[in-house]
Chain A
């Protein structure tokens, strides 16, 4: 199937992004281009240096933290079609991945293509929920595209975290979480579970947390871990980037229990590789069940799989008589989700 010619000639997957020749636009390009449409603010999808960037206002704000996006940024409202020229229209729909994340619907000559970017179907208090958008070609991620990945309800994982915290009042729990999205979701879920105590932040989290608060997502009492006294943090949660867990940075913490919020924590070997004592299976990506039911609900003529464990999702499509092909996309990283 993969070697058959593409059904539409106006959309071309390249290793460094998806190209729309009629309007000269690229989706999530990995190198600087004239016009980029960006699905969400994670660095592997949103890179700097483009002449013009179309994205949701939240995504532009996130990109602004990193690259100082200025006049080149064009904010796009959800569900509002944008004419890109050459007879191509783009419409952004929520993807449920992180704040501002969107799927992009492209229409040309009555043909419809949806690019999901990264997405999930679970409820998330920090972003708008994924919407099913009917289309002819569905371009999906497959980060957790193996049937072993079934993410448990987040409430279970938050319970695990809180009972470890309450069971060890002399220690602290250091939660490794991706600085954009995962960290804020974990904090918001902790607040929703009634955990009102101060949460200490690694410096890398401070700006993104402030940005979320500016967008109306309350995260409660957050304090910088860097200036806090060691004893002050006993019995508290510290949120830091995964890389800081085994780094010198964590030596300042009082006898930390090492936790990590990531979909990879489902696999014991992965957790042990990262020296994680308290694995929290919390992912901002669709799990196997979400990936497969979404394909079934969207019911496209053909699914294209951008990155992740594409072989298994291709196999599922084959078993379910659905046309699919894997795109060899470069540079989408998912190690820390």
Chain B
């Protein structure tokens, strides 16, 4: 446990990406199985201990420490696991008879905990660890290590440690479970793990933003960018799974998709709900909001299946009838995709149509119309591009429509967590519900956590601290004097918010210190942008 705790600690304080890579690589080289596998699982957020949640830790702490002192501490520290690791009372020496567990023992103990016994079992582990060990254990138990390491970075470190290609690591990764014995065995010169026996997730090919670039449509094909969620539908050995972009299995939420693919294939597409918001009747897709109602459900009612039927608009085919097509140029994969369409249920699958445009200028004109058609934007794919993992430059581009903008008033603020734990960085903003000179009020319309620079964050934090009029626990209400120009991708009707509207991807675009609050926009302006 100490080596893992030390790794977590060093990663916390190492700023450079190369420094982090080197630390993880050295740990993976120097640490035996299965310890290193569990550590890798922790870094890639592949562990889940349902009995141990942040609320469990809070409950444990308030049994041992005065709740007010706990809350004040938690608010200052900004992290439950860290607060608990610091506040955990050292046990009397006579009681601490247990020896410190190693990482596999700690993982086994966490796995064995149930909601019924966690309140007695977790303390036994905490009692035999020091503050750094407690921190690493609680982070491991609750997920989100917060050491500035993405799953991708951990895989890169794995590749670096054993001098194997990261694409191969990605390919084999998804068939493996912690502590990844076969993966380490392969990386150290053994046989590669089998990938053809299970419906495995294959990492997605992603696109770069086009920004100010122009491309030649002789080399690039254009298609619409649909606003749903990117999915991969995999059928192997009689089983079909639907994977989200992060590789999560979401088959249970979309049984109508999983039920209809019945030949071996790996398909890439956009999961959408039937409707006519995006691209009108021809587009045939409802807004993202409609899809959102169906996300994250473990079971789906018949009513929901009838009211919001899902389908996949296909972009690409990776594997088909046992053949791996990923090395082929996009044009040949596209031909195979078009050819296989008759084998699919037309209610559940259709083809993402290509946009016909003679040149870039014509395409620009088509894209400018995207806002009216409520389409998210345009994709550009190099005609000779193989299907490669991740975001490679020069192959695929996304060209989103320009964001919508609206001037809102800052209403409430809350502190961030981790690196932002002392800054007010989460903002709720609102618009006028009528004429401000005629007694109108500001109603909240959304929340933003991003879009500002570090300097702007400091400025906003200062503004909030000096313009607070009320506090509700960790939330500060400001005097509603600051105008924020908010950028967002689209806005939809929503029952969740008081204003009846919900924005997609709102972020702080500019701080309008030059604009008085009464000149901020009204809700009706925002409502007019609903598509």
Contact = CB atoms under 8 A, between A and B. Distances in A.
Contact of A312 (B72, B77, B83, B418): B72
A65 B421 CA distance: 37
Contact of A277 (B13, B78, B83): B13
Contacts of A311: 72
A147 B77 contact: no
A315 B75 CA distance: 15
A132 B423 CA distance: 38
B363 interface: no
B77 A148 contact: yes
B83 A148 contact: yes
Interface in B78-128: 78-79, 82-83, 86-87
Contacts of A147: 65, 69, 73, 86-87
B69 A269 contact: no
B323 interface: no
A269 B15 contact: no
A319 B66 contact: yes
B14 interface: yes
Nearest to B74: A148
A53 to B, nearest CB: 32
Contacts of B83: 148
B72 A268 contact: no
A279 interface: yes
Contacts of B69: 146-147, 312, 315-316
B422 A279 contact: no
Contact of A276 (B13, B77, B82, B421): B13
A4 interface: no
A293 interface: no
A273 interface: yes
Contacts of B419: 269, 272-273
B76 A309 contact: yes
Contact of A272 (B13, B65, B73): B13
Interface in B402-453: 417-422
B327 to A, nearest CB: 42
B339 interface: no
A269 B14 contact: no
Contacts of A268: 12, 79, 82
Interface residues of A, number: 23
A271 interface: yes
A273 B13 contact: no
Interface string B55-71: 00000000001101100
Interface string A209-220: 000000000000
Contact of B72 (A271, A272, A315): A315
A109 B76 CA distance: 42
Contacts of A330: none
A269 B77 contact: yes
A148 B73 contact: yes
Nearest to B85: A148
A275 interface: yes
B61 to A, nearest CB: 11
B77 A277 contact: no
A273 B458 CA distance: 12
B458 to A, nearest CB: 11
B15 A275 contact: yes
A269 B66 contact: no
A192 interface: no
A275 B419 CA distance: 10
B75 to A, nearest CB: 9
A146 B72 CA distance: 8
A278 interface: yes
A270 interface: yes
Nearest to A277: B13
Contacts of B86: 147-148, 150, 266
A267 B13 contact: no
A148 B77 CA distance: 8
Contacts of A276: 13
Nearest to A318: B68
Contact of B68 (A270, A273, A278, A315): A315
A273 B66 contact: no
A276 B9 CA distance: 12
Output the residue of B83, B417, B419 with the most chain A CB within 10 A.
B419
Contacts of B13: 271-272, 276-279
A269 B418 contact: yes
Contacts of A315: 66, 68-69, 72
Contact of B422 (A146, A266, A269, A278): A269
Given A147-B65, A148-B86, A266-B86, A312 B73 contact: yes
A54 B73 CA distance: 38
A268 B13 CA distance: 8
Interface string A267-292: 11111110111110000000000000
Contacts of A146: 69, 72-73, 76
Contacts of B77: 148, 267, 269
Contact of A148 (B12, B15, B76, B420): B76
Nearest to B146: A268
A150 B83 CA distance: 12
Nearest to B70: A147
A147 B68 CA distance: 11
A277 to B, nearest CB: 5
A269 B87 contact: no
Interface in A305-323: 309, 311-312, 315-316, 319
Contacts of A267: 76-78, 82, 421
Interface of A: 146-148, 150, 266-273, 275-279, 309, 311-312, 315-316, 319
Given A146-B72, A269-B417, A315-B72, 5 more contacts: A146-B69, A267-B76, A267-B82, A268-B12, A312-B68
Counting from the closest, the 9 A-B pairs by CB-CB distance are A269-B421, A148-B86, A312-B72, A148-B73, A277-B13, A272-B419, A315-B68, A269-B78, A146-B73
23 contacts: A146-B72, A147-B87, A150-B86, A267-B76, A269-B77, A269-B79, A269-B82, A269-B419, A269-B420, A269-B422, A270-B421, A271-B12, A271-B13, A272-B13, A277-B14, A277-B15, A278-B13, A279-B13, A309-B72, A309-B76, A312-B72, A315-B66, A316-B69
